[in-house]
Protein backbone atom coordinates (compact mmCIF):
# COMPACT_ATOMS: atom_id res chain seq x y z
CA UNK A 1 0.00 0.00 0.00
CA UNK A 2 1.44 3.36 -1.02
CA UNK A 3 1.77 6.27 1.35
CA UNK A 4 -0.38 9.37 1.26
CA UNK A 5 2.38 11.44 -0.32
CA UNK A 6 2.63 9.17 -3.34
CA UNK A 7 -0.95 9.96 -4.36
CA UNK A 8 -1.29 7.19 -6.91
CA UNK A 9 -4.51 5.64 -8.14
CA UNK A 10 -4.90 2.79 -10.59
CA UNK A 11 -8.21 1.67 -11.99
CA UNK A 12 -8.75 -1.09 -14.44
CA UNK A 13 -12.18 -2.02 -15.79
CA UNK A 14 -12.37 -5.21 -17.81
CA UNK A 15 -15.44 -6.87 -19.24
CA UNK A 16 -15.59 -10.25 -20.92
CA UNK A 17 -17.67 -10.55 -24.06
CA UNK A 18 -18.45 -13.95 -25.48
CA UNK A 19 -16.40 -13.30 -28.59
CA UNK A 20 -13.91 -10.59 -27.63
CA UNK A 21 -12.90 -8.24 -24.84
CA UNK A 22 -14.58 -4.88 -25.02
CA UNK A 23 -15.16 -1.97 -22.57
CA UNK A 24 -18.61 -1.37 -21.15
CA UNK A 25 -19.79 1.96 -19.68
CA UNK A 26 -20.33 1.79 -15.91
CA UNK A 27 -23.20 3.46 -14.12
CA UNK A 28 -22.11 6.44 -12.00
CA UNK A 29 -23.57 4.72 -8.90
CA UNK A 30 -21.06 1.91 -9.36
CA UNK A 31 -18.05 4.10 -10.09
CA UNK A 32 -18.52 7.76 -9.27
CA UNK A 33 -15.02 9.13 -9.44
CA UNK A 34 -11.67 8.30 -10.92
CA UNK A 35 -8.57 9.42 -9.00
CA UNK A 36 -5.83 10.58 -11.31
CA UNK A 37 -2.86 12.96 -11.04
CA UNK A 38 -3.86 14.27 -7.58
CA UNK A 39 -7.28 15.43 -8.77
CA UNK A 40 -10.82 14.11 -8.82
CA UNK A 41 -12.34 13.80 -12.25
CA UNK A 42 -16.04 13.09 -12.48
CA UNK A 43 -16.70 10.00 -14.56
CA UNK A 44 -19.60 10.59 -16.95
CA UNK A 45 -20.60 7.39 -18.72
CA UNK A 46 -23.98 6.68 -20.23
CA UNK A 47 -26.30 4.52 -18.15
CA UNK A 48 -26.71 0.91 -19.17
CA UNK A 49 -30.17 -0.46 -19.86
CA UNK A 50 -30.32 -4.01 -18.45
CA UNK A 51 -33.36 -4.84 -20.58
CA UNK A 52 -31.60 -3.97 -23.83
CA UNK A 53 -30.84 -7.06 -26.00
CA UNK A 54 -27.27 -5.86 -26.52
CA UNK A 55 -26.63 -5.96 -22.76
CA UNK A 56 -27.88 -9.53 -22.57
CA UNK A 57 -25.12 -10.53 -24.97
CA UNK A 58 -22.45 -9.30 -22.57
CA UNK A 59 -20.92 -11.87 -20.25
CA UNK A 60 -19.43 -11.56 -16.79
CA UNK A 61 -17.92 -8.19 -15.84
CA UNK A 62 -14.71 -8.03 -13.84
CA UNK A 63 -13.72 -4.83 -12.10
CA UNK A 64 -10.17 -4.87 -10.78
CA UNK A 65 -9.30 -1.89 -8.60
CA UNK A 66 -6.07 -1.02 -6.86
CA UNK A 67 -6.08 2.23 -4.92
CA UNK A 68 -3.38 4.16 -3.15
CA UNK A 69 -4.09 7.05 -0.83
CA UNK A 70 -4.49 10.46 -2.44
CA UNK A 71 -3.08 13.48 -0.63
CA UNK A 72 -6.13 15.55 -1.61
CA UNK A 73 -8.61 13.09 -0.14
CA UNK A 74 -9.16 11.26 3.12
CA UNK A 75 -6.87 8.18 3.24
CA UNK A 76 -9.28 6.42 5.59
CA UNK A 77 -12.08 6.64 3.02
CA UNK A 78 -10.19 4.72 0.32
CA UNK A 79 -10.56 0.94 0.56
CA UNK A 80 -7.53 -1.31 0.37
CA UNK A 81 -7.86 -3.97 -2.31
CA UNK A 82 -5.30 -6.64 -3.08
CA UNK A 83 -3.96 -6.52 -6.62
CA UNK A 84 -3.55 -9.75 -8.55
CA UNK A 85 -0.59 -8.82 -10.74
CA UNK A 86 -0.66 -12.02 -12.78
CA UNK A 87 -4.35 -11.68 -13.52
CA UNK A 88 -3.96 -8.04 -14.56
CA UNK A 89 -1.06 -8.81 -16.89
CA UNK A 90 -3.11 -11.56 -18.53
CA UNK A 91 -6.20 -9.41 -18.94
CA UNK A 92 -4.23 -6.46 -20.24
CA UNK A 93 -2.86 -8.68 -22.98
CA UNK A 94 -6.42 -9.63 -23.94
CA UNK A 95 -7.45 -5.96 -24.11
CA UNK A 96 -4.91 -5.02 -26.80
CA UNK A 97 -7.07 -4.04 -29.80
CA UNK A 98 -6.82 -6.33 -32.79
CA UNK A 99 -6.17 -4.13 -35.85
CA UNK A 100 -7.79 -6.78 -38.05
CA UNK A 101 -11.03 -6.77 -36.05
CA UNK A 102 -12.93 -4.26 -38.15
CA UNK A 103 -16.39 -4.33 -39.63
CA UNK A 104 -14.91 -4.08 -43.11
CA UNK A 105 -12.82 -7.22 -42.59
CA UNK A 106 -15.74 -9.12 -41.07
CA UNK A 107 -17.96 -8.28 -44.03
CA UNK A 108 -15.30 -9.24 -46.59
CA UNK A 109 -14.13 -12.44 -44.85
CA UNK A 110 -17.66 -13.74 -44.31
CA UNK A 111 -19.01 -12.43 -47.62
CA UNK A 112 -21.88 -10.69 -45.88
CA UNK A 113 -24.38 -8.91 -48.08
CA UNK A 114 -24.86 -5.26 -47.17
CA UNK A 115 -28.58 -5.89 -47.60
CA UNK A 116 -28.46 -8.08 -44.48
CA UNK A 117 -26.61 -5.56 -42.31
CA UNK A 118 -28.52 -3.36 -39.90
CA UNK A 119 -27.54 -0.64 -37.46
CA UNK A 120 -28.96 -0.34 -33.94
CA UNK A 121 -28.12 2.93 -32.18
CA UNK A 122 -28.80 2.85 -28.44
CA UNK A 123 -28.93 6.34 -26.92
CA UNK A 124 -28.92 5.11 -23.31
CA UNK A 125 -25.69 3.20 -23.91
CA UNK A 126 -24.06 5.67 -26.31
CA UNK A 127 -23.43 2.80 -28.68
CA UNK A 128 -23.79 2.08 -32.38
CA UNK A 129 -24.15 -1.66 -32.99
CA UNK A 130 -23.91 -3.34 -36.38
CA UNK A 131 -25.67 -6.67 -36.90
CA UNK A 132 -25.66 -9.22 -39.68
CA UNK A 133 -29.23 -10.45 -39.47
CA UNK A 134 -29.48 -11.24 -35.71
CA UNK A 135 -25.75 -11.59 -35.00
CA UNK A 136 -23.89 -8.68 -33.44
CA UNK A 137 -20.72 -7.94 -35.39
CA UNK A 138 -19.25 -4.84 -33.80
CA UNK A 139 -20.05 -2.00 -31.40
CA UNK A 140 -18.76 1.57 -31.68
CA UNK A 141 -19.08 4.23 -28.95
CA UNK A 142 -20.93 7.33 -30.11
CA UNK A 143 -22.39 10.63 -28.94
CA UNK A 144 -25.48 12.58 -29.89
CA UNK A 145 -27.11 16.00 -29.94
CA UNK A 146 -26.69 18.32 -26.96
CA UNK A 147 -29.94 16.89 -25.58
CA UNK A 148 -29.00 13.19 -25.81
CA UNK A 149 -32.02 11.84 -23.91
CA UNK A 150 -35.24 12.98 -25.57
CA UNK A 151 -36.71 12.12 -28.94
CA UNK A 152 -36.49 14.91 -31.49
CA UNK A 153 -39.59 17.09 -31.41
CA UNK A 154 -38.62 20.01 -33.60
CA UNK A 155 -35.80 21.84 -35.30
CA UNK A 156 -33.28 23.34 -32.88
CA UNK A 157 -34.06 21.17 -29.82
CA UNK A 158 -30.68 19.40 -29.98
CA UNK A 159 -32.29 15.95 -29.83
CA UNK A 160 -31.46 12.88 -31.87
CA UNK A 161 -34.58 11.38 -33.49
CA UNK A 162 -35.78 7.90 -32.53
CA UNK A 163 -37.34 5.32 -34.78
CA UNK A 164 -36.62 3.22 -37.86
CA UNK A 165 -34.87 4.93 -40.76
CA UNK A 166 -33.37 4.26 -44.15
CA UNK A 167 -30.15 5.71 -45.54
CA UNK A 168 -30.78 8.46 -48.08
CA UNK A 169 -27.21 9.04 -49.15
CA UNK A 170 -23.56 8.51 -48.14
CA UNK A 171 -20.68 10.83 -49.00
CA UNK A 172 -17.29 12.13 -47.88
CA UNK A 173 -17.44 15.24 -45.67
CA UNK A 174 -14.78 17.91 -45.41
CA UNK A 175 -15.29 18.51 -41.68
CA UNK A 176 -16.36 15.11 -40.27
CA UNK A 177 -14.71 12.58 -42.62
CA UNK A 178 -17.93 10.95 -43.85
CA UNK A 179 -21.66 11.58 -43.65
CA UNK A 180 -24.32 8.84 -43.67
CA UNK A 181 -27.57 10.73 -44.21
CA UNK A 182 -30.72 9.07 -42.82
CA UNK A 183 -34.25 9.83 -43.98
CA UNK A 184 -35.43 11.88 -41.03
CA UNK A 185 -38.09 13.19 -41.18
CA UNK A 186 -39.85 10.16 -42.61
CA UNK A 187 -43.57 9.44 -42.57
CA UNK A 188 -43.59 8.31 -38.92
CA UNK A 189 -41.52 11.33 -37.87
CA UNK A 190 -44.03 13.67 -39.51
CA UNK A 191 -46.95 11.86 -37.85
CA UNK A 192 -45.40 12.35 -34.40
CA UNK A 193 -44.57 15.97 -35.20
CA UNK A 194 -48.14 16.80 -36.21
CA UNK A 195 -49.52 15.00 -33.13
CA UNK A 196 -47.28 17.07 -30.86
CA UNK A 197 -48.40 20.26 -32.55
CA UNK A 198 -52.03 19.20 -32.16
CA UNK A 199 -51.74 18.46 -28.43
CA UNK A 200 -49.71 21.60 -27.71
CA UNK A 201 -46.44 19.83 -26.88
CA UNK A 202 -44.75 22.10 -29.42
CA UNK A 203 -45.80 25.39 -30.99
CA UNK A 204 -47.85 25.34 -34.16
CA UNK A 205 -45.13 27.48 -35.76
CA UNK A 206 -42.39 24.90 -35.03
CA UNK A 207 -40.53 23.26 -37.89
CA UNK A 208 -39.57 19.59 -37.97
CA UNK A 209 -35.90 19.92 -38.90
CA UNK A 210 -33.77 17.55 -40.96
CA UNK A 211 -30.25 16.82 -42.24
CA UNK A 212 -29.73 14.14 -39.58
CA UNK A 213 -27.02 11.58 -40.09
CA UNK A 214 -24.07 9.59 -38.77
CA UNK A 215 -20.70 11.29 -39.09
CA UNK A 216 -17.25 11.62 -37.56
CA UNK A 217 -15.67 14.30 -35.38
CA UNK A 218 -13.51 17.27 -36.34
CA UNK A 219 -9.93 16.30 -37.11
CA UNK A 220 -8.05 15.18 -33.99
CA UNK A 221 -11.14 15.39 -31.75
CA UNK A 222 -11.81 11.71 -30.92
CA UNK A 223 -11.87 12.71 -27.24
CA UNK A 224 -15.36 14.13 -27.83
CA UNK A 225 -16.53 10.52 -28.04
CA UNK A 226 -14.16 9.20 -25.36
CA UNK A 227 -15.41 11.84 -22.90
CA UNK A 228 -19.09 11.38 -23.83
CA UNK A 229 -19.46 15.01 -24.93
CA UNK A 230 -22.74 15.32 -26.81
CA UNK A 231 -21.76 18.10 -29.19
CA UNK A 232 -23.90 17.76 -32.32
CA UNK A 233 -27.21 19.42 -33.18
CA UNK A 234 -28.93 16.02 -33.38
CA UNK A 235 -26.64 13.80 -35.45
CA UNK A 236 -24.80 10.69 -34.29
CA UNK A 237 -21.04 11.16 -34.04
CA UNK A 238 -18.35 8.44 -34.12
CA UNK A 239 -14.57 8.51 -33.83
CA UNK A 240 -12.73 9.11 -37.10
CA UNK A 241 -11.49 5.52 -37.54
CA UNK A 242 -14.93 4.14 -36.67
CA UNK A 243 -16.91 6.28 -39.13
CA UNK A 244 -14.40 5.28 -41.83
CA UNK A 245 -14.84 1.58 -40.99
CA UNK A 246 -18.63 1.89 -40.92
CA UNK A 247 -18.81 3.93 -44.12
CA UNK A 248 -16.72 1.43 -46.08
CA UNK A 249 -18.73 -1.56 -44.81
CA UNK A 250 -22.39 -0.67 -45.28
CA UNK A 251 -24.57 0.54 -48.14
CA UNK A 252 -27.69 2.58 -48.72
CA UNK A 253 -29.76 -0.61 -48.24
CA UNK A 254 -28.58 -0.91 -44.61
CA UNK A 255 -31.41 -0.12 -42.19
CA UNK A 256 -30.93 2.13 -39.15
CA UNK A 257 -32.89 1.98 -35.89
CA UNK A 258 -32.42 4.50 -33.08
CA UNK A 259 -33.79 3.56 -29.66
CA UNK A 260 -33.96 5.57 -26.37
- pLDDT tens by residue, 134-174: 999 999 999 999 999 999 999 999 999 999 999 999 999 99
Segments in 156-230 forming alpha helices (H): 187-198, 223-226
CA-CA distance, 155 to 219, in Å (whole number)?
A: 27
Collapsing DSSP to helix, strand or coil, 164 comes out as: strand
Residues of the chain with CATH 2.40.440.10: 103-259
Q: How far apart are CA 247 and CA 226, in angstroms?
A: 20
Q: What fold is seen in the domain 103-259?
A: L,D-transpeptidase catalytic domain-like (2.40.440)
Distance spanning both ends of the chain, measured CA to CA: 43
Q: What is the pLDDT of residues 14-70, one digit of tens each?
A: 332 333 333 334 333 333 333 232 232 333 344 444 444 444 443 433 333 332 333
User: 185: cis peptide before it, omega within 30°?
Assistant: yes
pTM value > 0.85: no
Specify the range with the lowest mean pLDDT, choosing from 45-49, 107-111, 176-180, 227-231: 45-49
Residue 89, burial from CB neighbour count under 10 angstroms (0-12, 13-18, 19+) = exposed
Query: Residue 108: which region, alpha, beta or left (left: phi > 0; alpha: psi -120 to 50)?
Result: alpha
Amino acid sequence: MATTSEAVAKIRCITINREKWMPVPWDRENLRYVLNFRHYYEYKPCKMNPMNPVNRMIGTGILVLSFCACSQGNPDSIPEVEEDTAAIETTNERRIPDPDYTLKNLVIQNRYSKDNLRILIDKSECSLNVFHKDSLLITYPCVFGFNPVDDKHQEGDGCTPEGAFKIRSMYAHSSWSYFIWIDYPNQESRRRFKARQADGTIESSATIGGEIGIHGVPEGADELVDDRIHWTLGCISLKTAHIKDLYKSIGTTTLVEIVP
